[in-house]
Structure 1
């Protein structure tokens, strides 16, 4: 886990993207509350990025809840369909000619 904030340039370095491209992604993450831009105290011009752990925890909890909710619903639907399919495939009492 990273212990310090990063500049956009430091974050962009391992990727084959332009600075502007990474900055656009950072703006989206910032608007979503997942990262926060903070002025670099050393030069006052550039920004450092801080991960907003609480927002990620909230997103993770939301995803876990909905994954469990929909998995249960889909499991019940699957059981219902299998029961319906089994009921309709039951033995036929018709005679074949």
Structure 2
């Protein structure tokens, strides 16, 4: 029987350091001493962040001799993607409404580029 993660994905990625750790591990597996070399915090602090990511299922560890290596486990991020995709439709609706507003407000034949400002006033 599999145990439930102690931290959820949302909790785990809430911290900018942990998001940075995930980015670091995207392309390759790394030992903790190499990972900690990328940060100005102690190896112990990096290990604590890795433990939170591991408890959320975002990072897996593997022993190679005396070394522990960490790698990204991206599957739990699908939960985040599904959650965000639901709200994406609201953003898309707002962008479409803004586009309609801008296009309706613009007189025909006017340039669609940005206005040039001269002495604090739009240039005519």
With the shorter chain as reference, the TM-score category is 0.5 to 0.7
Q: Which runs of 5+ in 2 are unaligned?
A: 1-25, 95-124
Aligned with residue 68 of structure 1, among 81, 88, 91 = 88
Q: CA deviation at 1:46?
A: 1.9
**Larger radius of gyration between Structure 1 and Structure 2:** 1
RMSD between aligned residues: 2.0
Q: Which runs of 5+ in 1 are unaligned?
A: 76-97
Query: What TM-score, normalized to structure 2?
Result: 0.47
Number of residues paired by the alignment?
Answer: 67
Aligned structure 1 segments of 4 or more residues deviating by more than 3 angstroms: none
Query: What TM-score, normalized to structure 1?
Result: 0.58
| Matches of 2:54 and 2:77, distance apart in 1 | 12
Aligned with residue 40 of structure 2, among 2, 16, 31 = 16
